[in-house]
């Protein structure tokens, strides 16, 4: 009985010493890690006030481009819809008073879109392009059906000439880039 009592006392003392070790040794060690990071430059951003610039190759929301004279580039040829693997593009053509063809309806279902950029590469008029914007979340499904009004740029965009050349080369030689 006395032996069992002594063993229990030893156990209690051991546990006590272990706890003291945790408080006076391991906790300060943990605080050292915290202190080390306290004076380092933070890697997080104060979003949405501060935004991380996206990679130039990032593919965000879609736009419909205009020519320099302000007319719409899209001729409603349907090549972007044919290239779209997600079947996300719908369009209806119409004829302008001077006999040109343009899109009466042009819609992209962003809930289907996988932002692959195939529509941009397929377009012979360089009318549709994916921009850098990624903030288009919404609370209802209908808001994700983007129409011409949502996508048509007010003024012609000055495209990155390098990106445009790469796109043309890819189109001509049928090059696909799996790493994009
Ligand atoms: S980015 Fe890809 S999935 Fe989205 S509309 Fe264009 S082709 Fe379709
Ligand atoms: S966006 Fe380009 S590929 Fe698509 S219908 Fe218009 S012109 Fe054709």
> DSSP labels for 21-60?
HIIIIIHHHHHHHHHHHHTSPP-S--TTTS-PPPPTT---
Give pLDDT, residue 64.
95
For ligand 1, atom 6, name the residue with the nearest CA.
119
Confidence category of residue 172, pLDDT binned at 50, 70, 90: low
Which of 89, 79, 62, 90 has the alpha carbon at shortest distance from 152? 62
Those residues whose C-beta lies under 8 Å from the C-beta of residue 93, and which sit 6 or more positions away, are 76, 101, 102, 103, 104
Residues with CB under 6 A from ligand 2: 74-80, 91, 122-123, 125, 127-128
Give pLDDT, residue 33.
87
Tell me if residue 89 falls in helix, strand or coil.
strand
| Mutation to probe ligand 1, out of 114, 145, 151 (largest number of atoms < 8 A from CB) | 114
Whole-number Å distance, alpha carbon 60 to ligand 2 midpoint, is 18
Tell me if residue 7 falls in helix, strand or coil.
helix
- 127 C-beta neighbours (distance < 10 Å), count: 26
**Between the CA of residue 10 and those of 2, 19, 23, 139, what are the distances in Å?**
12, 14, 20, 63
Give pLDDT, residue 9.
85
CB distance 114 to ligand 1 below 6 Å: yes
Ligand 1 atom closest to 89 (CA): 5
CB distance 116 to ligand 1 below 6 Å: yes
Asked if the model's pLDDT at residue 180 lies above 90, the reply is no
Which of 138, 120, 139 has the alpha carbon at shortest distance from 130? 120
Rounded Cα–Cα distance for residues 95 and 134 (Å): 33
Rounded Cα–Cα distance for residues 47 and 64 (Å): 28
pLDDT, tens only, 17-43: 888 877 888 888 888 988 988 888 888
Give pLDDT, residue 178.
41
Q: Note the ligand closest to the C-alpha atom of 145.
A: 1
Q: What is the mean pLDDT of residues 60-64?
A: 94
8-17, 18-27, 92-101, 169-178: least confidently modelled range? 169-178
How far out from the chain centre does Cα 155 lie? 24
Q: What is the mean pLDDT of residues 56-70?
A: 89
Q: What is the pTM of this model?
A: 0.72
């Amino acid at each position: 009985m006395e032996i069992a009592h002594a063993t229990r006392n030893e156990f209690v003392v051991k546990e006590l010493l272990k706890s003291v070790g945790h408080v006076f040794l391991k906790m300060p060690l943990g605080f050292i890690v915290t202190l080390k990071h306290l004076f380092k430059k933070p890697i997080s951003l104060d979003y949405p006030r501060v935004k991380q610039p996206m990679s130039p190759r990032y593919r965000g929301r879609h736009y419909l481009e205009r020519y320099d004279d302000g007319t719409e580039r899209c001729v409603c040829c349907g090549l972007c819809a044919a290239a779209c693997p997600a079947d996300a593009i719908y369009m209806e053509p119409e004829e302008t008073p001077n006999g040109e063809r343009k899109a009466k309806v042009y819609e992209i279902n962003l809930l289907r879109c996988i932002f692959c950029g195939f529509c941009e590469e397929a377009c012979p008029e360089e009318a549709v392009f994916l921009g850098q914007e990624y903030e288009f979340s919404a609370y209802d499904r209908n808001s994700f059906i983007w129409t011409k009004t949502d996508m048509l740029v007010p003024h012609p965009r000055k495209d990155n000439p390098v990106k445009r050349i790469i796109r043309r080369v890819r189109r001509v030689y049928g090059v696909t880039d799996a790493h994009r």
